[in-house]
C-alpha cells in the first residue's frame, strides 16, 4: 500500500510517499530558512504564505519521484497538530481536498509522535515501548510510548524549547538562523568549562520539566552584563565566542541527558527514542550514547536527515491505518504548543 504524507506544521513544506512496510518511495522538503533568516526566527504569516505557494508543487514532486499517480495511493496522511495555525491549515486543507477528490481515507498525524516514529523507520524494527524524547525548535517533550498509537505525555519545557534557546543564543553571538548548527560548530573549538551556566531542574529528579529561559538570560549577562541588550556593541574574540557556545551547549546537553534519565528512573522503560532538530547535535548524540551504554539502556536517535522536519516520519500513519483510525473531512488543526 502507498501512503502520501504531508507536513506543514512550521516552516518546512514537505510531502513523501511511503509504503506500509516503511519503504520511502520519495521525500520532498522545501525549506523556508532563507525567508525567516533575517528575522532570526520563524514569522508565522510568512510561513503560511510560503506553504500556500509550495504545497501543491511539493506534493506533485513527491508523487512524480515515486513514479505514482493519485489513483495509486491508498491513503492521505497529514500532520494536523501541533504547530503554527496558518501553517497547519495549509497542509490540512490540501490533504482534505485530495481525500475528497480521490475518495481515499484521511489519516491524522501528530507531529511530535511522528518525530519519535522516525526512529522506527530508521531501525526497520519495532522500537516500542520506549521513552520518546523530542528536542526541536518548538518542542522539548518526554513521552511514555506504549505502542505506536498510545503516547502518554510525561513532561516538557515550561518556557523555551531547547532549539529555541540555541537559536536565540546564536543570534546573541551574531550567528545566522537557524542557530543550532552554528553553535555546534563554534563549540567544537571552545572550552565547555569556561562559563558556569545554570542547569535548571537538573537536581529535581521528580520534576520531568525543562526550562531554558534562565540559561538564555545567563548567556546574555555573561556577554553584556545585566541591564544591557545592545549586541551591536558586543566585542569579543572568536575564542571567547567558542567558549560561550561550548559552555551553553554543554548546559543544554546536561539538562537533556539528565532529564531523559530521570524519566527512565520514573517509568522503568528500557529504551529511549530521540527525534527533532536538536537531536542532530553531535555533543547530545555522543553524551546520550555514553550514558545509555553505561546504564544499559537501548538508544535510538533518528538519523540526521529525519531529525529536522520532514514528511517521511508521517509514516506513523501506517500504524493508524492498521488500527482503523481514520478521520472525517471536518478534521481540524490543533495548534497549541504542547509544553
* Beta-strand relationship, 24-31 and 12-19: antiparallel
Residue 309 or residue 327: which is nearer to Zn ion going by CB? 309
Question: Which C-beta is closer to ligand KG4: that of 80 or that of 136?
Answer: 136
Nearer to Zn ion, 114 or 222 (CB): 114
Report d(CA 102, CA 70) in Å as an integer.
7
Instruction: CB nearer to ligand KG4: give 66 or 252.
Output: 252
The C-alpha cell of 222 is what? 555573561
Report the relative pairing of strands 150-156 and 140-147 from DSSP bridges: antiparallel
Helix/strand/coil percent split, the chain, to 5: 45, 20, 35
Contacting positions for Zn ion (CB under 5 A): 136, 309
C-beta of 101 vs 304, nearer to ligand KG4: 304
* Interaction of residue 81 with ligand KG4, rule CB under 6 A: no
Tell me, residue by residue from 287 to 316, as one string, x for binding to ligand KG4 by CB under 6 A and - for no binding: ---------------------xx-------
The interface mask with ligand KG4, positions 264-283, x = CB under 6 A, is: ------------xxx-xx--
Task: Check: CB of residue 326 under 8 Å from CB of residue 106.
Answer: yes
CB 94 to ligand KG4: min, Å = 19
Strand partners, 18: 3, 24
Other Cβ atoms within 10 Å of 136 Cβ, number: 25
Annotate each residue in 141-180 with x if it binds ligand KG4 (CB under 6 A) or - if it does not, as one string: ----------------------x--xx----------xxx
Give the number of C-alpha atoms closer than 13 A to the C-alpha of residue 326, restricted to the C-beta side.
14
Q: Which three cell numbers stand for residue 1?
A: 500500500
Q: Which residues are bridge partners to 275 per DSSP?
A: 134
Place of cell 525543562: 210
Cα separation, 156 vs 143, in Å, equals 9
Helix (H, G, I), strand (E, B) or coil at 67: coil
Residue 70's contacts (CB-CB under 8 Å, 6 or more residues apart) are 63, 98, 101, 102
Supply the minimum distance, in Å, between the C-beta of residue 166 and ligand KG4: 4
Residue 148 binding target from ligand KG4, Zn ion, none, CB below 5 to 8 Å by type = none
Rg (CA), the chain: 20
From the list Zn ion, ligand KG4, none, pick the one residue 314 interacts with, judged by a Cβ distance below 5 to 8 Å according to partner type.
none
Residue 109 neighbours by CB distance under 10 Å: 26
- Residue 281 binds which one of ligand KG4, Zn ion, none, with CB within 5 to 8 A depending on kind? ligand KG4
For residue 178, the partner it binds in Zn ion, ligand KG4, none, with Cβ less than 5 to 8 A by kind, is ligand KG4
Judged by CB under 6 A, the number of residues near ligand KG4 is 19
Q: Pick one of ligand KG4, Zn ion, none as the site partner of residue 27 (Cβ within 5 to 8 A by kind).
A: none
Binding mask 228-267 for ligand KG4 (x = CB under 6 A): ----------------------------------------
Distance CA 269, CA 262 (A): 11
Our CB check for ligand KG4 shows the closer of 134 and 208 to be 134
Residues at the interface with ligand KG4 (CB under 6 A): 10, 136-138, 163, 166-167, 178-181, 184, 276-278, 280-281, 308-309
Amino acid at each position: 500500500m502507498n501512503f502520501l504524507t504531508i507536513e506543514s506544521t512550521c516552516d518546512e513544506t514537505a510531502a513523501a510517499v511511503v509504503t506500509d512496510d516503511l519503504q520511502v518511495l520519495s521525500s520532498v522538503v522545501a525549506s523556508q530558512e532563507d525567508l525567516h533568516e533575517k528575522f532570526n526566527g520563524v514569522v508565522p504569516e510568512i510561513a503560511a504564505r510560503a506553504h500556500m505557494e509550495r504545497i501543491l508543487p511539493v506534493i506533485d514532486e513527491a508523487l512524480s519521484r515515486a513514479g505514482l499517480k493519485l489513483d495509486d495511493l491508498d491513503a492521505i496522511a497529514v500532520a494536523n497538530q501541533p504547530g503554527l495555525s496558518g501553517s497547519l491549515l495549509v497542509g490540512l486543507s490540501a490533504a482534505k481536498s485530495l481525500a475528497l477528490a480521490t475518495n481515499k481515507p484521511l489519516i491524522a498525524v501528530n507531529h511530535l509522535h511522528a518525530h519519535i516514529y522516525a526512529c522506527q523507520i530508521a531501525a526497520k524494527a519495532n522500537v516500542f515501548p520506549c521513552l520518546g524524547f523530542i528536542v526541536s525548535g518548538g518542542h522539548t517533550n518526554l513521552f511514555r510510548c506504549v505502542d505506536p498509537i498510545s503516547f502518554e505525555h510525561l513532561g516538557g519545557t515550561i518556557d523555551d524549547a531547547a532549539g529555541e534557546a540555541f537559536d536565540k543564543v546564536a543570534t546573541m553571538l551574531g550567528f545566522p538562523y537557524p542557530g543550532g548548527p552554528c553553535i555546534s560548530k563554534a563549540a567544537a573549538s571552545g572550552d565547555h568549562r569556561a562559563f558556569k551556566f545554570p542547569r535548571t531542574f537538573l537536581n529535581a529528579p521528580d520534576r520531568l520539566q525543562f526550562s531554558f529561559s534562565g540559561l538564555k538570560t545567563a548567556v546574555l549577562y555573561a556577554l553584556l552584563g545585566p541591564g544591557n541588550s545592545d549586541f551591536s556593541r558586543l566585542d569579543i574574540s572568536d575564542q571567547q565566542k567558542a567558549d560561550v557556545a561550548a559552555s551553553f551547549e554543554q548546559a543544554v546537553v546536561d539538562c537533556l541527558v539528565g532529564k531523559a534519565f530521570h524519566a527512565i528512573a520514573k517509568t522503568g522503560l528500557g529504551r529511549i527514542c530521540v527525534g527533532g532538530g536538536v537531536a542532530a547535535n553531535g555533543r547530545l548524540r555522543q553524551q546520550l550514547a555514553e550514558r545509555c551504554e553505561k546504564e544499559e539502556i537501548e538508544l535510538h536517535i533518528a538519523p540526521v536527515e529525519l531529525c529536522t522536519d520532514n514528511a517521511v516520519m508521517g509514516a506513523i500513519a501506517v500504524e493508524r491505518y492498521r488500527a482503523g483510525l481514520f478521520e472525517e473531512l471536518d478534521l481540524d488543526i490543533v495548534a497549541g504548543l504542547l509544553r
